[in-house]
């Protein structure tokens, strides 16, 4: 055998060996990631004894060693892919931090606190758990994102991601440390679903059933469900992966409703930043209004503010108070009601609207500075930055907010708003008009509302808020397109035009398909509940199903009375409502292959 043959034989052998070692390294990292979550669950979900604490310490060291070994092998074997990561420096920093923690745990132990006391935090369990969460999240996101490179339909993957998080959330809520007196699986599944699907319907009292640990789990589920499971996953995967396939990028483009695949990572960064920024501002203003009035001191007030800011922006409508927002602690805090309503509105507008206005603001500031410096003349024409989608959502939202507030004030002035100061009447009427689209916070006992108010609430629940938002419902764009199309059809006009732009025929067909499927599912669900829930008025069932399907969370005090079958139906309804009725049916339909021929047309009677 000559040198060339020996070289090629070695190359073949090394390629196979490298593939096997790489597979083992990935498997080791995956097992370490899964083990990390089990250790975290056991640590915070169960009462610890000295024996279990010692076992957990040994397990943490073993998991850290597995991570270090697997990541080291990955760096060696896949160096070309690693150096193409967007956040390479952060990945390397985490790697060296992992090495430092292992060194402190194995080699230095007690001496590090004596010689280098400022580094003693690296040996604390909390710091190690934060590191494990970060490592597990990054590497599990890689594995999940790899699934997107297969030929799974985006809509089906979107559905499965929510189902997975709901099931995990249900398991976490059944942990002993999550509740005060325990909870059965159906109620845990219902609570997890209503949190992930940001609905707000509850079969148990959230404030009295769950401990601080349980409330933190619910808050995290709301945050994940509000932004989107795949948004979180894609952020970590795109940040810490060298290359991703064209198929996975196209699937992510469809999920994020983006026109281009080149800026997907920036879109995800913007979504996360805007969400956290608005929630932080909202939590600050909420804290300013409630400080000194929530039992438990400063920490409880901070937690209350953060929880309600996340719940409001994500349109979840879940509160830690036993009686929601008409609880005696906050029922007369009208500034608090106002901030909650504002957060709901921002969450319901949708990320494309926020980004569109941020783009306009950037344009105005940049060109204003240039004009002040004399580098640019004043405009002869107005630049078209605000697109048709933004125009429709903003105008529709303003009309619904103003009309809803006025009608709520009219119907409830002598009822639930009776005796309140004008500031209280306006604040509660505004929140009463905002919350059905689709947050679910209660400013009054729903069973005491006047019949016209309940009908107004039902209509607003059906309409919903903006697409690509944290809200549900049919969406204002769907209703707008359907109404304009109906009006044009009555006039005999074929094209649907808004502000000198034509609405695409596909968008019109999709709007009517969404409406038809929405009411078909609504009718079937109400029909089934009318059989399973004996003796319940039909309007109560209709209100309950509409609230679940539009992910609102308002109820006529009926949700806790549901039978187990009824709870399962509402669970399915909330899940379908969160991903969208149209998306749900599309995920199970075989894609149509377009044909290059047409049949003769024939009219039918309408």
Digit-coded pLDDT (tens) for 163-209: 888 999 999 999 999 998 889 999 999 999 999 988 889 999 998 89
Give me Rg for the CA atoms of the chain: 27
The conformation of residue 123, written as its DSSP 8-state character, comes to G
Report domain extents, the chain.
Answer: 1-147
**Which residues, 6+ apart, have CB-to-CB distance to 139 below 8 Å?**
29, 30, 32, 33
Instruction: Identify the H or E element spanning 231.
Output: helix 229-239
The conformation of residue 175, written as its DSSP 8-state character, comes to S
85-89, 277-281, 500-504, range with the lowest pLDDT: 85-89
Instruction: Identify the H or E element spanning 501.
Output: strand 501-502
CA-CA distance, 452 to 426, in Å (whole number)? 18
Q: 3-class SS at 385?
A: coil
Reported as a single tens digit per residue, the pLDDT across 468-481 is 777 788 999 999 99
Reported as a single tens digit per residue, the pLDDT across 562-600 is 999 999 999 999 999 988 888 888 888 777 777 788 888
Packing angle, helices 451-463 and 538-549, rounded to 10: 30
Query: Model-level pTM?
Result: 0.85
Reported as a single tens digit per residue, the pLDDT across 413-438 is 988 888 889 998 999 999 999 998 77
Packing angle, helices 212-227 and 264-290, rounded to 10: 140
Closest listed residue to residue 127, CA positions, set 135, 138, 116, 115: 135
């Amino acid at each position: 055998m000559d040198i060339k043959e020996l070289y090629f034989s070695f190359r073949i052998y090394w390629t196979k060996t490298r593939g096997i070692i790489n597979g083992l390294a990935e498997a080791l990292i995956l097992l370490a990631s899964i083990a990390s979550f089990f250790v975290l669950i056991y640590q915070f979900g169960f009462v610890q004894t000295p024996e279990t604490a010692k076992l957990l310490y040994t397990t943490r060291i073993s998991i850290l060693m597995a991570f270090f070994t697997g990541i080291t092998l990955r760096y060696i074997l896949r160096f070309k892919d690693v150096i193409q990561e967007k956040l390479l420096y952060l990945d390397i920093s985490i790697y060296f931090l992992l090495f430092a923690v292992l060194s402190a745990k194995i080699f230095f132990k007690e001496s590090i606190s004596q010689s280098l006391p400022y580094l003693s935090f690296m040996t604390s369990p909390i710091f190690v758990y934060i590191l494990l969460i970060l490592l597990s999240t990054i590497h599990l996101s890689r594995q999940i994102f790899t699934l997107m490179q297969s030929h799974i339909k985006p809509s089906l993957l979107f559905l499965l991601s929510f189902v997975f998080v709901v099931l995990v959330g249900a398991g976490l809520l059944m942990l002993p440390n999550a509740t005060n007196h325990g909870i059965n699986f159906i109620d845990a599944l219902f609570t997890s679903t209503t949190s992930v699907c940001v609905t707000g319907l509850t079969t148990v009292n959230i404030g009295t059933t769950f401990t601080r640990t349980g409330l933190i789990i619910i808050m995290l589920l709301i945050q994940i469900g509000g932004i989107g499971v795949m948004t979180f996953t894609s952020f970590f995967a795109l940040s810490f992966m060298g290359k991703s396939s064209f198929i996975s990028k196209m699937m992510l483009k469809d999920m994020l409703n983006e026109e281009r695949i080149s800026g997907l990572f920036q879109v995800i960064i913007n979504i996360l930043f805007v969400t956290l920024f608005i929630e932080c501002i909202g939590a600050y203003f909420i804290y300013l209004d409630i400080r000194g009035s929530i039992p438990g001191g400063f920490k409880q007030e901070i937690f209350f503010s953060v929880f309600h800011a996340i719940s409001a922006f994500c349109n979840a409508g879940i509160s830690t108070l036993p009686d929601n927002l008409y609880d005696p602690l906050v029922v007369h805090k009208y500034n608090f009601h106002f901030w909650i309503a504002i957060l709901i509105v921002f969450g319901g507008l949708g990320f494309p609207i926020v980004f569109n206005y941020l783009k306009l603001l950037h344009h105005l500031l940049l060109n204003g500075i240039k004009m002040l410096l004399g580098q640019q003349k004043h405009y002869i024409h107005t630049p078209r930055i605000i697109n048709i989608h933004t125009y429709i959502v903003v105008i529709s939202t303003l009309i619904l907010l103003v009309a809803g507030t006025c009608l709520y004030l009219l119907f409830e002035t002598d009822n639930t708003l009776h005796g309140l100061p004008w500031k209280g009447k306006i604040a509660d009427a505004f929140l009463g008009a905002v919350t059905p689209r689709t947050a679910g916070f209660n400013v009054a006992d729903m069973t005491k509302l006047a019949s016209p108010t309940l009908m107004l609430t039902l209509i607003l629940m059906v309409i919903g808020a903006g697409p690509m938002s944290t809200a549900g419902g049919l969406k204002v764009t769907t209703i707008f397109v359907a109404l304009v199309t109906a009006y044009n059809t009555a006039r005999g006009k074929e094209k649907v035009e808004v502000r000198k732009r034509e609405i695409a025929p596909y968008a019109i067909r999709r709007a009517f398909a969404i409406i038809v499927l929405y009411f078909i599912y609504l009718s079937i669900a109400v029909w089934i509940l009318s059989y399973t829930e004996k003796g319940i008025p039909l309007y109560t069932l209709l209100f309950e199903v509409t609230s679940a399907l539009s992910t609102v969370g308002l109820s006529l005090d009926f949700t806790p009375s549901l039978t187990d079958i009824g709870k399962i139906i509402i669970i399915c309804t909330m899940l379908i409502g969160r991903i969208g009725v149209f998306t749900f049916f599309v995920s199970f339909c075989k894609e149509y292959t377009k044909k290059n021929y047409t049949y003769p047309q024939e009219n039918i009677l309408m």
